[in-house]
Structure 1
Amino acid sequence: MQPRFTLEGFGRYVPQRVLTNADLESIVETSDDWITTRTGIKERRIVAPGEACTDLAAHAARAALDNAGRAAGELSHIYVATFTPDTVCPPAACTLQDKLGLKNLACMDIAAACSGFLFALDTAMGAVARKPDSVVLVCASEVVTSRTNWADRATCVLFGDGAGAVVLSNREPKPGQASVRDIIIQSDGALGPLLTVKGGGSAHPYKLGQTVDADHFIEMIGPEIYKNAVRNMTQVCEDILARNALTMNDVDLFIPHQANLRIMEGVAKRLRCPEAKVMITVDRYGNTAAASAPIALADALAEGRVGPGSRVLMTTFGGGFTWAAALLEFA
């Protein structure tokens, strides 16, 4: 019997502190008009001092478990998608496991930058396919501001912090739950130098007492990222629709990676997706990297954008480069 891939519960968490475009005007040479015109972002959420990746993840995880009607003790696996973990070692997934009061689970991090959530979801589906009694927590959590250079106006205006989570199992979906109909994940490492956080890696190690340099933070070549993001997200969406004999007319809600409004509009235009079908959260959260897709999905449910029988198309794009698409169908 083919396993089911059911998203039983959805959760998200964003920090309380709001950083507006007006606030940024006192930090770097910019303006609300400049940011809004180029990105669509009006504000973003920023962690409090001492608040780390797994703190956000724990909030989102508990919300997803509550939504699923599951106790944390029912989990078999925890996957955390992030490029901003609390520490290089131990993995964020293991720290999250401890914060949820659990032991002896299979826990690991997934590093696929802004595509991390869908890469982690694909990995979780493999766990369920191999062991159908698995109950997997898939969490994407990012403190992107920890890797943001606040002196670089081209990047610092873009990012915010947050976490989203889902619970995946082999159960028959109930009303309000979703089946993962299909997923495609892809990468091209030749494009990696266009979006980097190099500092501290084994190819760019630090020495004791060395001053932190700009390469510790996000560096990117915006125009090239825009072209590749639009091209590859469009292509992977067309591919997943074609192999499921669907068109955009069959999609009720489109959730693109919340990187930049111009990128999202570019993808939607190429797919001939009406504006009314596009889920937009970038205006209030900024780019939360791997967390953007599950946060947008949880908000879509909370706002009533998704209902019984809804079909949702999600797509992501991130450093690596990595990109992905998923089709969800709600019971």
Structure 2
Amino acid sequence: MAGGVTVLVVGAGSIGRRHHENLMALGAQSHLIGWRGFSAQALAARLAEGADAVVIATATDVRLPLVKACAAAGVPFYVEKPLAFRPADVETIAVLAAPVAQRSMLGMMMRYHPAFRELAATDLSDVFQFALSIGHDVTQWRANWRFSQSYAAKADGGGVLLDLCHEVDMAACLFPGLSVHAVESLGHVAYPGVDMASRISLGRTGLSGDVAMDYLTPKLHRHCILRGSERMHDFDFASQHYVVTDAAGPAALHKPLDRNEMFLAAMRDFLALVAGRVVSDIEHLPRLDLCLPSARLVAGAWAARVFNGQIRKEIP
């Protein structure tokens, strides 16, 4: 499938390891490189030795020089979300990466979720309100993992809005042209500048909605409600319970999920882009140039945060 394709995976955390394993499963020659002791200059040297593609799975605040190195070498890249947290950095990347943007991807893997694809293939022109939410107690995420020692605890590039920005991306896909109206956030005294919960008010003419995310709720929730004059979609991604209600009444949809298949599908499409082959029939291909409106919305929301209080929960 991808024999002979050499990919450098920069960042050996959990997501970098997942991409590395999936690339090998797809037949690529993947090389996993830990970020500690590495640099953009080291990446440029490795690219000069020969590589077909790069996966950038580092913390957000160190990605810009890596993107620059890839673009300068003419090598396509797959970069984890978010693309950047400062609006100016999004625009810098858009210019720098333009020569390889149509062969590069942003890691918005929720676009491959079977239930989201159902929404993406549906006529949603009757929708007038939407609400997306996601959250879970961050101290329960992974064994032997501490929030305080992670990228998420950084004022620059951390926080829940960036960490769980898939919901913003989904809203941007389903409803192009959204703009940020307001962002309300809760902080934590131990982590200045880091949002522990955020609510983003979004809208465009004839449509309003919000995206909420948190590091606090004791059990995982991931929900999408679309209210329209013709039908309502009530999709619970956490319980995999999907209901569409119209004048005839509610109807449940069966959309089973293999979580790693979303990552595999995204990597298949990336390898296809790298090789100049036809990609899958996904409704919203997360090709880098096509993801810029979403990336701008995420960065714009991060810049618009207004902290209106602090949480008291201990987060070690």
- What TM-score do you get using the length of structure 2 for normalisation? 0.29
Between 1 and 2, higher relative CO (CA 8 Å, sep ≥ 6) is seen in 1
